[in-house]
Amino acid sequence: MRVNFCLLSLTSLLLSPLVHAGECAAGGKLLFQCTTSKGKQIVLCDSGKTIDYSFGPRGKPEIVVRAKRDEASTTQWHGMGRYMNYSVDVPNRDVSYSVYWGVDRLDEQHPVEAGVYVMQGETELANVKCDGRKPIAQHMEGVALREVE
């Protein structure tokens, strides 16, 4: 029994980096990752030639969108105003996934707002928010994409 437990523990330890090391393809840079209140992952990666968005359970996304760099865009905070925010828009035909992160710098508790807007043209189809009680990885600042004004 002890041998089986040790083997199971060793197997879990060896496989865990594959599951928890991040959701980006080899060589990709994590731009954003969070968990929703329903336990699904919002992941955004810079894979060099593409910007990759995925949504769904960890390791088994329900949605995967890869957009060419010149099709994706970003909104960057320029150091002015109380609300610091960053976003990256990943288009997929007539639908766009806008991954966002923002914080009110003057609010003493600094609550973060983060998630993804799903847009069809000017119509908001969904706003899926990150669970603020769980870790949020945000590295969208300074991403080299066309900036939306």
- The DSSP H or E segment spanning 142 is none
**Residue 138 predicted with pLDDT over 70:** yes
Residue-wise pLDDT for 98-126, tens only, equals 999 999 988 888 889 999 999 999 999 99
Question: What's the one-letter identity of residue 98?
Answer: S
- pLDDT for residue 20: 35
pLDDT tier, 8 (very low <50, low <70, confident <90, very high otherwise):
very low
d(CA 46, CA 30): 6
Mean pLDDT of the 62-79 span: 96
Q: Own/partner pairs for 27-30, CB < 8 Å, 24+ apart?
A: 28/52, 29/139, 30/137, 30/139
C-alpha of 108 from chain center: 25
CA distances for 25 relative to 44, 57, 59, 72, 138, angstroms: 11, 16, 12, 18, 17
pLDDT score at 19: 31
Coil/strand/helix, residue 24 = coil
pLDDT of residue 18: 31
CA–CA distance from 7 to each of 4, 14, 89 (Å)? 5, 10, 44
Higher pLDDT among residues 76 and 10, named by residue: 76
Rounded distance between C-alpha atoms, residue 34 and residue 144, angstroms: 21
Q: How confident is the model at residue 22 (pLDDT cuts 50, 70, 90)?
A: low
pLDDT at residue 28 greater than cutoff 50: yes
Residue with the bigger pLDDT between 17 and 77: it is 77
Confidence of residue 23 (pLDDT cuts 50, 70, 90): confident
pLDDT band at residue 7 under the 50/70/90 scheme: very low
